[in-house]
Amino acid sequence: MKSYDIVIVGGGPAGLAAAVAAKKAGNDSILILERDHELGGILNQCIHNGFGLHTFKEELTGPEYASRYIDQVLELGIDYRLNTMVMDIAPDKTVTAMNREDGMFTVPAKAVILAMGCRERPRGALNIPGYRPAGIYSAGTAQRLVNIEGYMPGKEVVILGSGDIGLIMARRMTFEGAKVQCVAEIMPYSGGLKRNIVQCLNDYNIPLLLSHTVVDIKGRERVEGVTIAEVDGNMKPIPGTEKFYSCDTLMLSTGLIPENELSRSAGVAMNPVTSGPVVNESFETSIEGVFACGNVLHVHDLVDYVSEEAAKAGEHAAAYVANGREEAAEDITVTAKGGARYTVPSTVSLDRLGDLLTIRFRVGAVYKDAFVSVYLDDERVTHQKKRIIAPGEMEQVILKKEQLTSHEGLKNITVTVETE
């Protein structure tokens, strides 16, 4: 197969935005490889509204948001292959893929953009005892069944985990006539956005049981019910708090994991906290010319931020193809400390940085009336008060390039959460 300047692995929101930006930055040799039969990725099954408020200043559904980018990809004449699974990315950026028409083929590339997205944490990772009956679904699988295939997974539902997909599915199942008994969350706080608790649970009087988990699943052929117990501070079930909930369906919304098999086998350095690649300010991984963006990099709450990051990755990939890797001054490290769990990016080169540096991060616990602080070496330059900071909502700080250049000999940027 012919070679391309930029090969993008994944045609979801990240891959589409990266492709459009790379094309607009002047590159005419871009190929998107997508394993599904249509572009758009997971947005196609996210039929609810709430997408695009940042990007388009209007509230769109998932398919509508995707179509805005798909239309651009088509108008710009960017090449893409559907039903195509990428099997390997070699360190020299040769991409091996396969599909029914072409069989196995290789595409030599000058730059690769990783945009594979993420997967749901499965039941097997949760240590729930009991049989393996039918009726246990990850929330995203149930979402696909209802919204794309048109099947109802069940009539009486318990949801374990309060991630956004679980909350959205609680409402969706209610709309379709199912009874959602409750959402149980092992942590003392929700993993989803506050607005989704309000509009998906509170609106329909669906209880959210914090510090609760499923301790037993009843049923051999089909789920007949689950036992839910309260957990203590160490997440151990408290004896005597068990309560039985009748249900035919258990949905799991217990976290998303970036899908990085390809990145790992290519030798990309990974961040153990995000399970995504370590990247610099240009969204470039530890392998020169290999970029990462979207949920494969770190799991986002908002697709708008995915598109924004992906566009930068696309621009930088186009610049890399055009100019090669420019000699740059030594990288500044970005460190997460005291409450902040990680940062994206992990390093910054002032020579490659644009006018602004956006650092995104998540916290490990709920903080009330706390401060997000940024230190340039030992000097505190940001001290921003927040009413609430929660693990379920990604935070960001934006620094001006002048701030960084005016701090002579800057070696480290630290992002931290302080109580005063």
Partner 1 sequence: MEKRELTCIGCPMGCLVTAEIENGEVVNVTGNTCKIGDTYAHKEITNPTRIVTSTVILEGSGKTRLPVKTATDIPKSSIFDVMEVINHARAKAPVKIGDVVIKDVCGTGVDVVATGNAS
DSSP category for residue 142: H
Cis peptide before 345 (omega within 30 of 0): yes
- The residue range among 52-60, 261-269, 341-349, 396-404 that interacts with partner 1, by the rule CB under 8 A, is 52-60
Residue 53 in contact with partner 1, rule: CB under 8 A? yes
Closer residue to partner 1 in complex, CB, 148/322: 148
Query: In this structure, what token pair is assigned to residue 342?
Result: 């990680």
* Gap between the Cα atoms of 47 and 61, Å rounded: 5
Q: Which C-beta is closer to partner 1: that of 70 or that of 340?
A: 70
- Write down how long the chain is: 420
List 74, 104, 152, 198, residue binding partner 1 (CB under 8 A): 198
**274 part of the interface to partner 1, by CB under 8 A:** no
Strands (E), 165-231: 179-185, 208-210, 212-218, 225-230
Angle, CA of 241, 246 and 252, to the nearest 5°: 80
Nearer Cβ to partner 1 (102/203): 203
- 236: number of Cβ within 10 Å: 10
Residue 74 engages partner 1 in binding (rule: CB under 8 A): no
Residue of 3, 56, 64, 410 that binds partner 1 (CB under 8 A) = 64
Which single residue is written with the structure tokens 């151990």? Answer: 236
The verdict on 36 binding partner 1 (CB under 8 A) reads: no
Q: Which amino acid is at 409?
A: G
Interacting residue with partner 1 among 1, 74, 104, 148 (CB under 8 A):
148
* Range in contact with partner 1 (rule: CB under 8 A) among 132-140, 187-195, 271-279, 341-349: 187-195
Under the binding rule (CB under 8 A), the answer on residue 11 touching partner 1 is no
Minimum distance of partner 1 from residue 203's CB (angstroms):
7
Close Cβ partners of 47 (under 8 Å, ≥ 6 residues apart): 61, 62, 63, 147
* Closest to 129 measured CA to CA, from 226, 232, 234, 254: 226
Beta strands in 261-349, from DSSP E residues, in sequence order = 270-271, 276-277, 290-292, 332-337, 340-344, 347-348
Q: Name the residue nearer to partner 1 (CB basis): 199 or 403.
A: 199
Chain positions 306 to 365 lying near partner 1, rule: CB under 8 A, are none
For the bound state, the minimum distance from the C-beta of residue 83 to partner 1, rounded and expressed in Å, comes to 13
Of 2, 100, 385, 387, the one binding partner 1 by CB under 8 A:
387
Instruction: List the one residue from 21, 22, 30, 48 that touches partner 1 (CB under 8 A).
Output: 48
- Which of 199, 271, 286, 358 binds partner 1 (CB under 8 A)? It is 199
Interface with partner 1: number of residues (CB under 8 A): 31
368 binds partner 1 (CB under 8 A): no
Residue among 301, 331, 395, 418 that touches partner 1 (CB under 8 A): 301
- The minimum distance between CB 49 and partner 1, in angstroms, equals 5
The residue within the footprint of partner 1, chosen from 197, 251, 252, 266 (CB under 8 A), is: 197
Q: What is the CA radius of gyration of the chain?
A: 22
The correct pick among 63, 108, 255, 364 for binding partner 1 (CB under 8 A) is: 63
Q: Are strands 118-120 and 103-114 parallel, antiparallel or unpaired?
A: unpaired
283 three-class SS: coil
Q: Is 385 in the site for partner 1 (CB under 8 A)?
A: no
Dist CA 140 CA 251 (whole Å):
9
The answer to whether 55 contacts partner 1 (rule: CB under 8 A) is: no
Which H/E stretch holds residue 18? helix 13-24
396 vs 359: CA distance, rounded Å: 6
When the beta carbons of 113 and 370 are compared against partner 1, the nearer one is: 370
Alpha-carbon distances of 28 from 91, 289, 353, rounded to whole Å: 23, 17, 24
Q: Is 174 helix (H, G, I), strand (E, B) or coil?
A: helix
- Binding to partner 1 in span 163-182, by CB under 8 A: 175-176
238 binds partner 1 (CB under 8 A): no
The backbone torsions φ and ψ at residue 339, rounded to the nearest 5 degrees and listed phi first, read 105, -45
For the beta carbon of residue 245, count every other beta carbon within 10 angstroms.
Answer: 18
CB closer to partner 1 out of 79 and 301: 301
Which residues contribute to the site for partner 1 (CB under 8 A)? 44, 47-50, 53, 59-61, 63-64, 67, 146-150, 175-176, 193-195, 197-199, 203, 301-302, 387-388, 393
